[in-house]
Amino acid sequence: MEVEVKFKLKPGVEEKIMEIAEFLEEKEEFDVYFNHPCRDFAKTDEALRIRLEKKVKLTYKGPKVDSETKSREEVNVEVSGFEETLKLLEFLGFRKFRSVKKHRKIYKKGNAMICVDSVEGLGEYVEIEVEGGLQNKDEIFRIAEILGYSKKESIRLSYLEMLEKIKAGSIEPK
């Protein structure tokens, strides 16, 4: 299970992250999201995506399981080719829904990953993630507090959901 929270990046936070965490890597990620041929993932709070980065990963995300975080079951499968996997999903009836492009800096603090993301069309965010179960969410909020965030500032929407809300006009971009 993926246990994660997201916050809008505030001035000075990235410097705090560099003080408390080890820098791992910087990379570009390009995600293509799909909708199921028989059910609407937006209504079921699920996601299916293919991610192009150093490797190609196909990911299924189940519905969120709590009210404070973006925690959900997640299944990742490494695949050999981006274009071939796109074709396979389309042949099976899945429809391309939207793409998300981001620049990501990844840091590690203990068993937590801290990502500073610059998302095309959205702006800059911080994600804090731990593996395991919901019992680990206190660790996420402890790190968030060190960085100057409170629980009430947590954003439960995914980048995909945020982009859709901008498209629908229910939130303002950047």
Q: What is the pLDDT of residue 105?
A: 98
Tens of pLDDT, residue by residue over 5-56, are 999 999 999 999 999 999 999 999 999 999 999 999 999 999 999 999 999 9
The CATH number of whichever domain residue 124 belongs to comes to 2.40.320.10
Q: What is the pTM of this model?
A: 0.92
Domain presence at residue 44: yes
What domain count does the chain have?
Answer: 1
Domain-located, residue 174: no
Sheet containing strand 47-52, edge to edge, reads 2-8, 123-131, 112-119, 95-109, 22-35, 47-52, 56-61, 74-79
Residue 48: per-residue pLDDT: 98
Residue 105 lies in a domain: yes
pLDDT score for 78 = 97
Percent of the chain exceeding pLDDT 90 equals 82
Q: Does residue 69 sit in helix, strand or coil? A: coil
In a domain? residue 86: yes
pLDDT of residue 26: 98
Q: Tell whether 33 is covered by a domain.
A: yes
The residues that are catalytic are 33
Find the domain containing 81 and state its range. 2-168
Residue 52 domain flag: yes
Q: What is the pLDDT of residue 170?
A: 74
Residue 173 in any domain: the answer is no
pLDDT at 136: 83
| Paired sense of beta strands 123-131 and 56-61, if any | unpaired
Average pLDDT of the chain is: 93
